[in-house]
Amino acid sequence: MKEAKKIYFIGIGGIGMSALAQYYLAKGAEVFGSDLAESEITKMLEKKGAKIIIISKSHLKSQSFVKRSDLVIYSKAVPEDHPELKLAKKFKIECLSYPEALGELTKKYFTIAVCGIHGKSTTTAMISLILIKAGLNPTVILGTKLKEFGNSNFRMGGLFKFSKSQMVNCQIVNSQILVIEADEHFGSFLNYWPKIIVLTNIEKEHLDYYKSLKNLLKAFAEFISHLPEGGFLIINKDDKNITQLKISPPFYNPPPRFTGGRKRVGGINVLFFSLKEKESRRLRKILKVPGKHNLYNAFAALTCARALKIPDKISFKALSEYRGAWRRMEEKRVKVQDKEVVLISDYGHHPTEIRATIEGVKEKYPKKQTWLIFQPHQYQRTYYLFDDFVKTLVNLPIEKIIIPPIFDVAGREEAKIRNKVSSEKLVLAVNKRAKKEKAIFIPNFEMIKSFVESYFKGDILIIMGAGDVYNLVDEFST
């Protein structure tokens, strides 16, 4: 891919797309883009110099912007028949999906890629902050906003000169570091070519695409095979599905069984982390973010730092100062019925993430009465993991669960699935198994706010989901 000077982003308001747009702005490129609706992200990009068209308001200007571009980058949610994408292809403008464009960057940088079903954003943030404190000046493309980055999901780094002792076996002396989240959906991470892979965990997810856990494991194994000779694989020793991975040649012959310790497998350095390690108690004491899942994230970051020969003193200092990321158990104080309550905003949208967040909240506030507003994200996820959602929600140690309609992800839903699942069905199944009215369906945010203001007598209110439910956070904050 040649160096582009004028780049058009289709779906520029997405969390990953916006970070990539900021990268090109920082590199001095002229950035254009479009999205379906205005958001705080599109407003931020405009302040940084991007020219953005909101499709709901106007579609005419975008045509001239597309024609002026020498590269078009589009979100994976964009359909093949999208008019701007079709126009770009008509004029023979180079077109890359977001993972393809990010993949090109991973070839230019010394890339650290964080993958796994849960914990990618937090682990990526923790690694980045350790690297910054160690003076390694990384460029970071993050799946959430970070206070330390000026409430942004992007950081532009620069050149760092490695000492030979820092990167044993990696044949790297002078390089720039790129830290990214490696998303598994649609096989996106198969476009990336990192020198270090951090794997947090694996379980059933995105079954609309992968169909089975077996296929998902194959994709992770293929991604790991992208590591070069001398690269590092950092994996969670406690995760049962990771132990089932079978890695293909050329660097694994025969395929290894990941059973613990540190080893050299073929040409790859494999490092393991586990909560059974002696540092577990120390990490638990210093972390400001609660929950066992955040202990795992911290261990993954610490192990990555050790691969880079960063002293533990620096890593523990950085981890102790980590304040959390946007919508990852993010807390604020609000008034409900003239009573001050703790409002927690969280991005969790998978049964395991819901359970982990509630466990973290209860660890911090063990005796506080808690309500949860949970917005299911995507009809297909809700359908394929329906029983897991029911089991998780029934067993949550909280008093009430409010569930609005499923968030419809544009371009990713199948009509036949949409007709088979709903929030109403989820509520009925939860209450039937709980043998009481633990969950309630409320059809819109306005009614949810009114219901909470009328009946909530507790201490903790959690607003959770990956859709637009975060708008309720602002409603309760005003």
> Which of 287, 321, 355 corresponds to the end of one domain?
321
Helix (H, G, I), strand (E, B) or coil at 178: strand
pLDDT band for 61, please (50, 70, 90 cuts): low
Same domain, 236 and 372: no
Based on the fold, state whether residues 152 and 275 are members of the same structural domain.
yes
* Cα gap 156→148, rounded to integer Å: 13
The answer, yes or no, to whether residue 260 has pLDDT greater than 50, is no
In a domain, 93, yes or no: yes
199: nearest Cα among 179, 212, 181: 181
Structure tokens that stand for 379 in this block: 């009809």
Task: Using pLDDT thresholds of 50, 70 and 90, give the confidence band for residue 243.
Answer: confident
Judge if 310 and 379 occupy the same domain.
Answer: no
Checking if the pLDDT of 258 tops 50, the result is no
Instruction: Examine residue 310 and state whether it is found in any structural domain, yes or no.
Output: yes
Q: Do 166 and 243 fall within a single domain? A: yes
Which domain CATH number covers 386? 3.90.190.20
195-238 confidence digits (pLDDT tens): 999 999 999 988 888 999 999 999 999 999 999 988 999 999 99
Measured distance CA(39)–CA(184) in Å, rounded: 26
The answer as to whether 1 is a domain residue is no
**Relative orientation angle of helices 292-307 and 351-364, to the nearest 10 degrees:** 100
Assign 100 to helix, strand or coil.
helix
Q: Which domain holds residue 193?
A: 109-321
Residue at 103 is within a domain:
no
Adjacent-strand bridge partners of 331: 344
Residue 431 token pair: 């209450």
Residue 271 sits in a domain whose CATH number is 3.40.1190.10
Statement to judge: residues 299 and 169 lie in one domain: yes
Residues 148 and 168 placed together within one structural domain of the fold: yes
Name the 3-class secondary structure at 148: helix
Q: Is residue 411 part of a domain?
A: yes
Query: Over the stretch 92-123, which tens digit does the pLDDT of each residue have?
Result: 999 999 999 999 999 999 999 999 999 999 99
Boundary-marking domain end, from 268, 290, 321: 321
Assess whether 257 and 298 both reside in one domain: yes
- DSSP-derived 3-state class of residue 139: strand
- CATH at residue 50: 3.40.50.720
**pTM assigned to the model:** 0.84
CA 388/CA 352 separation, integer angstroms? 9
The pLDDT of 53-59, averaged and rounded, is: 64
Same domain, 215 and 258: yes
Domain assignment present for 461 = yes
Where do we find the tokens 């359970």? Answer: 355
In a domain, 291, yes or no: yes
DSSP per-residue codes, 244-307: G--PPSSS-SSPP---SSEEEETTEEEEEE-TTSTHHHHHHHH-SS-SHHHHHHHHHHHHHHHH
What is the layout of strands, in order, in the sheet containing 6-10? 51-54, 30-35, 6-10, 71-74, 94-97
pLDDT at 261: 46
Specify the pLDDT at position 172: 47
Q: Are residues 452 and 380 in the same domain?
A: yes
Residues 304, 433 within the same domain: no
Q: Is 398 found in the same domain as 284?
A: no
Are 122 and 50 found together in one domain?
no
- Last-in-domain residue among 301, 321, 341: 321
Q: Which amino acid is at 327?
A: R
**What is the token pair recorded at 404?**
């609005």
Residue 437 has a pLDDT of 93
* Tally of domains in the chain: 3
**How high is the mean pLDDT of the chain?**
87
Q: Is 41 exposed, middle or buried (0-12, 13-18, 19+ CB in 10 A)?
A: buried
Residue of higher predicted confidence among 340 and 170: 340
Alpha helices in 308-455 (DSSP H): 312-321, 351-364, 379-384, 386-395, 415-418, 423-434, 445-455
Confirm whether 104 is domain-assigned.
no
Q: What's the pLDDT tens digit per position in 158-209?
A: 876 555 555 543 444 457 999 999 999 989 999 999 999 999 999 998 888 8
